[in-house]
């Protein structure tokens, strides 16, 4: 999952949340929170990062480099 795809999905999540709230539905915050966790999980998985509990956080700069 490259950076562009990641940012597009984040933008779509925000747009979906705004539309959801505009239509008057509740629990949009829960959707954004849970889908954000899933998105970060797949981002780390496809960048071959260790799980958060698997070691130190020295691999976080991979988020900010081009692949």
Taking the C-alpha atoms of residue 27 and residue 21, their distance in angstroms, rounded to an integer, is: 9
Query: 3-22 vs 28-46: helix axis angle to the nearest 10?
Result: 170
- The total number of structural domains that make up the chain: 1
Taking the C-alpha atoms of residue 67 and residue 65, their distance in angstroms, rounded to an integer, is: 6
Distances (CA, A) of 9 to 24, 32, 38, 45, 50: 23, 11, 11, 16, 22
**For range 37-66, the mean pLDDT:** 69
Domain holding 26, by residue range, is 3-64
**For range 7-35, the mean pLDDT:** 84
Higher-pLDDT residue of 24 and 52 is 24
Evaluate if residue 58 carries a pLDDT over 70: no
Instruction: Give tens-digit pLDDT for 1-18.
Output: 677 887 888 888 889 888
Taking the C-alpha atoms of residue 63 and residue 44, their distance in angstroms, rounded to an integer, is: 9
pTM to 2 decimals?
Answer: 0.56
């Amino acid at each position: 999952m490259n950076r562009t795809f990641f940012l597009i999905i984040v933008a779509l999540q925000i747009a979906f949340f705004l539309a959801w709230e505009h239509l008057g539905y509740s629990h949009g915050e829960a959707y954004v929170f849970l889908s954000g966790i899933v998105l970060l999980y797949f981002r780390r998985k496809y960048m071959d990062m260790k799980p958060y509990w698997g070691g130190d956080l020295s691999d976080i700069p991979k988020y900010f480099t081009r692949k």
